[in-house]
Structure 1
Amino acid sequence: MMIQRVILLLTGCALLLPAAAQDWNYYRGDQGGSGFSPHQQITSDNVSTLQVAWQYRSGEAQQFAEELPRSALETTPILLPEAAGGHLVFCTAFNQVIALDPETGAERWRYDPEISLAGDRPFKCRGVSWWTDPDGLAGQQCRQRIFTATHDRRLIALDARNGKLCEGFGNKGTVKLYSDAEGFIPGDIGSVSPPVVVNGTIVIGSAVVDFVRAHTPRGTVKAFDARSGAARWQFEPIPLDAKAPNAKQWPVDAVAVSGGANAWAPLSVDEVRDLVFIPTGAPSPDYYGALRPGDNRYANSLVVLRGSTGEVVWSFQFVHHDVWDYDTPAQPMLVELQRDGKAIPAVVQLTKQGFVFVFHRETGEPLFPIIEKAVPQSAVAGELLSPTQPTSPELPLLLSHDLNAENAWGLTAWDRGACAKKITSLNNQGLFTALAETPTLMLPGSLGGANWGGGVFWPARQQLVVNVNTAPFVGHLKPISVTEAGEHLPPAGKTMRITMAGTPYTVVVESLLSPLGIPCSEPPWGKLMAIDLAKGEVLWQTPLGSVHEMAPFPLPFDINWGTPNLGGALMTAGNLVFIGATMDRRFRAFSADSGEMLWQHTLPVDAPASPMTYQRGGRQFVVIAAGGHHMYQRKMGDYIVAFALPKSRK
């Protein structure tokens, strides 16, 4: 391993080039999640002529018609090199893996794992991973592999060329991601983000239902041999005993009273340094922590592990003792930060709270100051809040945390006054105000801020672009009298009611709306913004989305006040930022220079996914999945749509 790492370091300059330079081989272009492509056939000068090149439908809208409303097509395809078949490969919401011809969209192969449909978790799969076995012979079966993880917790290896199971991996191509001793309740824990591979080791997190009861599955991160599927190591964010390094920040019976702290967001890999970057979520239950006193270290954190052993190299916690559902939601971005003419290996982490944190990738040293700031301490009986929370004061906030009667917003004096009255009545002490038995302002709510779409980064410009949610919510803890059912996010203004079994409370959350059904904060309620990371300054920001389809009845014209958004962007050297994500069925292109919208196309349904790009047959294609916003009861679908410039006439 040491010899291998020396060779990697000697060739590091070449290896640190975005993998997108060889085309889009990884979920977000490269293993560090930059979301940037050097392709520039499509530019800010010609993007206005972009048109649909092909459209593909998976058929799941019909095959899973009953389950479709609780699914989400959030996938981003990857493009395989010719040695691996040259396919465009993606996973569907129900974990089918499909390979398409990248020039025509014609289906080449399909693998159906026939997942269990049990449980209440939404069905989703954000991507698959590709790996080449360095010890395999060219053309050998399964030398080129696709790895995918399923809703029912299986890790599957397929031959990238034909979609056949790799018989020598695990049990005839499949590794079970849970043990009989751990137990398994379908729907309680699943997989949504793609597994990652670091120097022949597959690493995978999990998605846990962490808000319906106190004791939930723990968020174990697991690692396996990429060739054989044999278990290599696992990382436990919740201490199993008093000897664990984080045991003092948890109660002695942590695994009996809590759970979660899982890595549901995409992971990142630095193979040169043998590092895996793990963003972890909140411990269960999300909104009540009296059963788990302490900072709950390794939850709500960025944990950096040695890929070969699983040992913790360094970590940083973004929320101490989380009672706000402020998971670390986005893929850590591995970038080269330019300072004093030197390239510093950095990792950028975006948070739901709206902070941007930047660290030295090897040591965890903050590259912009981090300050522990005193936060509100009022809470329900038995809750022990952290007196401080970390902030990043020298980098721009992604959204304002201040909402009061004076800056309440409305279309008329009447509804503005109604909003001001509502806001005045709320428990509102600023960011990190804990939920009480009386209505409490949540800004941001559990949607963020930033979410799993994360950001994109242009290395030469040191430019970060991120899409942000800004709408306010109201929540409170209701003493349990009867069991109530609900949904994790309040769809289209409806109220979420979740009984946190094992606690004294049901959590109730709803959007903070005027009598006209409009958010009580000034628009935009979703935005796209660019930050110069070299200077720590905002370059531009612009509303993202039109609310014309969110009114009680659709309007025939755009109202660009921004919408809730899920999914990420794509940035290209053609001076463009592409993004779907919004609740208006639009796919847009913005100028990376100015934030000006240059092009838009209306899709069949919303596209809460991250786009990607590649070049084939002399044409640059931009591809996005469109499946609809399931959380907001929008129309659903099963589309993959590719765009390109018109073919030139000879």
Structure 2
Amino acid sequence: MRVSLWHVSVSLVLMAGVVAGVSIHRTSVVVRASSAERSAPYTTWHNYLGGADSAQYSALKQIDRSNVSELQQVWFYPAGNNGFRYGSNPIVVDNMMFVIGKDNNVVALDATTGAEIWVHDNQKPRNISHRGVTYWESRDRSDRRLLFSTDNMLREIDARTGKTIESFGNKGAVDLREGLGRVPSTIRQIQSGTPGRVFENLLILGSATGEEYESPPGDLRAFDILTGKQVWAFHTVPHPGEMGYETWPPDAWKYIGGTNTWGEITVDERRGIAYFPLGSPTYDFYGADRIGANLFSDCLLALDARTGRYLWHFQTTHHDLWDYDLESSPKLMTITRDGKKMDVVTQAGKNGFVYVFDRVSGKPVFPIEERAVPQSDVPGEKSWATQPFPTVVPPFARQKFSADEVDPYIADPKEREKIKAIVLASRNEGIYTPPSLGTTMETPGNNGGANWGTGAIDPTNGTFYIQSKEAPSLLKLEARPPRRQMTGTPEAQGHIVYLQNCQSCHTESRAGQPPAIPSLIDIVGRSGADRVRTAVHDGLPPMPAFPDLMDEDITNLIAYLKDPSKGEVPGDILARMMAPAPSNKPKLGPGGQRYWTGYGYMNSTEGLPAIGPPWSTITAYDMNKGTIKWQIPLGEISALAAKGIHGTGSYWPRGGPVVTAGGLIFAGTKSDNKLHIYDKDSGKQIWEIELPAGPEGIPAVYEVGGREYVAISARPNVEAPVENRQPRSSSGADSAPKQTQGYYVFALPEVKTKAK
């Protein structure tokens, strides 16, 4: 066994104030003790994922195995069909629930009735940290604040009134584009859809930088909650003299982006340690301009939460060419090994692996070894020779897609054979097969495995639960044609922009690849030109921003999408515009010619995965032993279930589970519009609740006045497999269906509550 060479344990020689990757602005620390800290552990839901430790666990047990079938919906709050995207996680303090509501406003609700208490008008921002907000309160609770981001601005409001706190930053806002070593006006996207973490008087933030060349860097930062001043920053692409600088080309920090925590941060409040799951550097699938191991990309990184001082890291993928971000929150667990209690941090990845480390030293608890992996044949690329493989803890996802695993439920036999031929013809050497100029099979795919919100724990017995997607990707690197002066109608010019930038994912017919990549047919009519412009300009995960597109390009693209019939381009002009750059005139960048690929999601024409089921699972690990206790399909496809086909799992659930002391797991799936309830010990489904919309996000479990509630967000299911979609009318995104996007809240009948 060889421990990964890029694992670095706690350094005892780091000098305060002279720390790799850290700049510190010292301010006074206001020690805070929230009402959550004064409550019994795991009995509140004051924070995203339940608490700073991201446990996704509730010690409440009024709702249990014996009575969960009696749950009833007690209220619904409509958030409008243009509110949060891809799921949210409400937080609850006392009797107030804080959510993202209609028009991306932050709203306070009565947690027992859903009645509005106040609405903070965000002036219809293009983008908001839609997965939730962050709460802070002073020790005496006289000062209570909410923090969230809109349009790259960190904002703060009074939690009791919803009014802007003018003393924070510049009249209530801090520009997150500043202080990153780039010209702020060139940064199109930096805020994350995921809220940060509060520790004492600090808000610790990650970012969503986009996935393209020239994306901004993913520096980790902490801001003073009272003033908005930046307190510390950690450079995830090291600057000269900082640890890890030698793992990049010289001055890579000036042009490399990404390497960011767009997912979930976890804090060990007792020790003052913050854990960051970091993602891949840009560009995701080609790294000739970033030769090297590329620290701190794809690392679980531990920092001193107060100062940003480096403690330890482990890199799970060296020189990432697969977009194998870490984003599911690190889980703080106490397990028993060799008869002794051990505090550990557990991390799941997109690659299907689970890693377990000593929480303080970063030493792997179970062996991890470096193994040789297939190498790249792409010009200019130099893939890493080995990757770290856990040798004891088994993977939770498939890591190779063979031709005999093609989805047997694809209705057309000819289509099945076509997909089988594609699989057989691709470069397909299992996990870490690098992208090539031919078709390459990536398994798990870049949107498979563990994603945001997908982990939960049972702190009473050392069980780790991970929700996973099975979604292989078919990659093919190509040189993008250079920008040339275009002529013709706006629609024709927009057609060329579409072919150069959008077709690889949304397909030539604009039909998309649901559920991950939506159809663009009548997208302007359904969503409006402004929303389309924002999505292209800022990105809309998993779609990256397109920083190289000019405003005129986007305007022409919208014209084409609005009326494709006017977008015909003469063949000679199309051939000239789509021709690659001459080989003797490379694109900008140290690596020479740049290459791109679509994300390569593999679906049938019916909108079902190319790979056979299960398409999503929940896996329960006994982390005391590093073994799997059970694995089950998560949900199903309604159209298939109607034909008697069960056990398929849902397709592309977004969000994750919550575990409770009542013996339950709550998890929502949008392909069947159901909230599923499983036995946490066996994985057996106990009950399910069908909703009018597709549940997404992470449930919140809370108690008010002795009554336990379960809340989950949901939105219209327009990205499900074809037979399972909810239609929209042509008159706009908010026309049909009506009032189904929002927050659904359940509890036991009041008589049962009193009896308990």
Give yes or no for TM over 0.5: yes
Determine whether 1:465 maps to 2:552. no
In the aligned structure 1, how far is the partner of 2:614 from the partner of 2:432?
Answer: 22
- Per the TM alignment, residue 557 of structure 1 is displaced from its structure 2 partner at its CA by 6.5
CA deviation map 1:522-569 (0-9, x unaligned): 3101111211111222111111132235x7xx9576744122221010
Distance 1:616 1:341, change over 3 A: farther
Distance 1:15 1:101, change over 3 A: closer
In the aligned structure 2, how far is the partner of 1:575 from the partner of 1:468?
Answer: 21
Deviating more after overlay: 88-97 vs 636-645: 88-97
Determine whether 1:485 maps to 2:501. yes
Determine whether 1:153 maps to 2:152. yes
Distance 1:177 1:376, change over 3 A: same
- Per the TM alignment, residue 609 of structure 1 is displaced from its structure 2 partner at its CA by 0.3
In the aligned structure 1, how far is the partner of 2:130 from the partner of 2:598?
Answer: 28
Structure 2 gaps of 5+ residues are 1-15, 17-30, 483-496, 507-511, 519-541, 549-587, 727-732, 734-739
Determine whether 1:569 maps to 2:657. yes
Determine whether 1:528 maps to 2:533. no
Q: Secondary structure at the match of 2:698?
A: coil
Determine whether 1:644 maps to 2:734. no
CA deviation map 1:292-319 (0-9, x unaligned): 1111101111111112211111111111
CA deviation map 1:455-511 (0-9, x unaligned): 110011211111111132211112323652225994348699989965532313433
In the aligned structure 2, how far is the partner of 1:632 from the partner of 1:440?
Answer: 26
CA deviation map 1:568-593 (0-9, x unaligned): 10100111100014422111101112
**Structure 2 counterparts to residues 182-331 of structure 1, below 5 A:** 182-185=183-186, 187-211=188-212, 214-240=213-239, 242-331=240-329
Q: Report if the CA contact (8 A) 1:410-1:514 is conserved.
A: no
For 1:97, the equivalent position in structure 2 comes to 106
Q: Report if the CA contact (8 A) 1:581-1:610 is conserved.
A: no
**Structure 2 counterparts to residues 380-395 of structure 1, below 5 A:** 380-395=378-393
Deviating more after overlay: 399-408 vs 222-231: 399-408
Q: Secondary structure at the match of 1:331?
A: coil
- Per the TM alignment, residue 341 of structure 1 is displaced from its structure 2 partner at its CA by 4.4
Would you tell me which structure has more helix in proportion to its own residues? 2
Structure 1 gaps of 5+ residues are 2-7
- Per the TM alignment, residue 113 of structure 1 is displaced from its structure 2 partner at its CA by 2.4
Query: Of the candidates 598, 603, 608, which is equivalent to residue 508 of structure 1?
Result: 598
In the aligned structure 2, how far is the partner of 1:308 from the partner of 1:318?
Answer: 25
Q: Report if the CA contact (8 A) 1:415-1:516 is conserved.
A: no
In the aligned structure 2, how far is the partner of 1:497 from the partner of 1:275?
Answer: 32
CA deviation map 1:122-167 (0-9, x unaligned): 7552121222223xx55x4xx12222222x1222222222222223
Q: Report if the CA contact (8 A) 2:128-2:149 is conserved.
A: no
- Per the TM alignment, residue 264 of structure 1 is displaced from its structure 2 partner at its CA by 0.5
Q: Report if the CA contact (8 A) 1:585-1:604 is conserved.
A: yes
In the aligned structure 1, how far is the partner of 2:102 from the partner of 2:463?
Answer: 32
In the aligned structure 2, how far is the partner of 1:500 from the partner of 1:157?
Answer: 28
- Per the TM alignment, residue 387 of structure 1 is displaced from its structure 2 partner at its CA by 0.5
- Per the TM alignment, residue 39 of structure 1 is displaced from its structure 2 partner at its CA by 0.9
Q: Report if the CA contact (8 A) 2:129-2:149 is conserved.
A: no
Q: Secondary structure at the match of 1:353?
A: coil
For 1:546, the equivalent position in structure 2 comes to 636
**Structure 2 counterparts to residues 12-51 of structure 1, below 5 A:** 19-21=41-43, 23-51=44-72
In the alignment of these two chains, the number of paired residues is 611
Determine whether 1:398 maps to 2:407. no
For 1:616, the equivalent position in structure 2 comes to 704
Q: Give the AA of the match of 2:445.
A: G
Q: Give the AA of the match of 2:689.
A: H
For 1:75, the equivalent position in structure 2 comes to 88
In the aligned structure 2, how far is the partner of 1:96 from the partner of 1:293?
Answer: 43
Q: Report if the CA contact (8 A) 1:239-1:247 is conserved.
A: yes
**Structure 2 counterparts to residues 164-183 of structure 1, below 5 A:** 164-179=163-178, 182-183=183-184
- Per the TM alignment, residue 613 of structure 1 is displaced from its structure 2 partner at its CA by 0.5
- Per the TM alignment, residue 239 of structure 1 is displaced from its structure 2 partner at its CA by 2.1
Q: Report if the CA contact (8 A) 1:19-1:30 is conserved.
A: no
Determine whether 1:332 maps to 2:330. yes
For 2:581, the equivalent position in structure 1 comes to none
In the aligned structure 2, how far is the partner of 1:183 from the partner of 1:632?
Answer: 38
For 1:422, the equivalent position in structure 2 comes to 422
Q: Report if the CA contact (8 A) 1:371-1:390 is conserved.
A: yes
Q: TM-score, normalised by structure 2?
A: 0.75
Q: TM-score, normalised by structure 1?
A: 0.87
In the aligned structure 1, how far is the partner of 2:96 from the partner of 2:89?
Answer: 14
- Per the TM alignment, residue 410 of structure 1 is displaced from its structure 2 partner at its CA by 2.0
For 2:691, the equivalent position in structure 1 comes to 603
- Per the TM alignment, residue 326 of structure 1 is displaced from its structure 2 partner at its CA by 0.8
Which protein has greater RCO, CA pairs closer than 8 Å, 6+ apart?
2
Q: Report if the CA contact (8 A) 1:356-1:397 is conserved.
A: yes
Distance 1:304 1:470, change over 3 A: same
Aligned-pair identity (%): 33
For 1:437, the equivalent position in structure 2 comes to 437
CA deviation map 1:597-638 (0-9, x unaligned): 111122222122000111123321100011246766965853
Q: Secondary structure at the match of 1:506?
A: coil
Q: Report if the CA contact (8 A) 1:96-1:113 is conserved.
A: yes
Q: Report if the CA contact (8 A) 1:53-1:643 is conserved.
A: yes
For 1:107, the equivalent position in structure 2 comes to 116
Distance 1:545 1:500, change over 3 A: farther
In our comparison, the structure showing a higher alpha carbon Rg is 2
Query: Of the candidates 580, 583, 588, which is equivalent to residue 671 of structure 2?
Result: 583
Q: Give the AA of the match of 1:491.
A: P
Q: Report if the CA contact (8 A) 1:283-1:299 is conserved.
A: yes
In the aligned structure 2, how far is the partner of 1:618 from the partner of 1:116?
Answer: 38
Q: Give the AA of the match of 2:254.
A: A
Q: Give the AA of the match of 2:87.
A: E
Distance 1:16 1:284, change over 3 A: farther
Q: Report if the CA contact (8 A) 2:516-2:652 is conserved.
A: no
Q: Give the AA of the match of 1:27.
A: Y
Q: Give the AA of the match of 1:147.
A: L
In the aligned structure 2, how far is the partner of 1:371 from the partner of 1:273?
Answer: 29
For 1:4, the equivalent position in structure 2 comes to none
Distance 1:508 1:32, change over 3 A: same
Distance 1:516 1:193, change over 3 A: closer
Q: Secondary structure at the match of 1:474?
A: strand
Q: Report if the CA contact (8 A) 2:201-2:224 is conserved.
A: yes
Q: Report if the CA contact (8 A) 2:456-2:466 is conserved.
A: yes
| RMSD over aligned Cα atoms | 3.0
Would you tell me which structure has more strand in proportion to its own residues? 1
- Per the TM alignment, residue 356 of structure 1 is displaced from its structure 2 partner at its CA by 0.6
Distance 1:387 1:629, change over 3 A: farther
Deviating more after overlay: 352-361 vs 170-179: 170-179
Q: Report if the CA contact (8 A) 2:345-2:356 is conserved.
A: yes
Q: Report if the CA contact (8 A) 1:470-1:526 is conserved.
A: yes
Q: Report if the CA contact (8 A) 2:366-2:390 is conserved.
A: yes
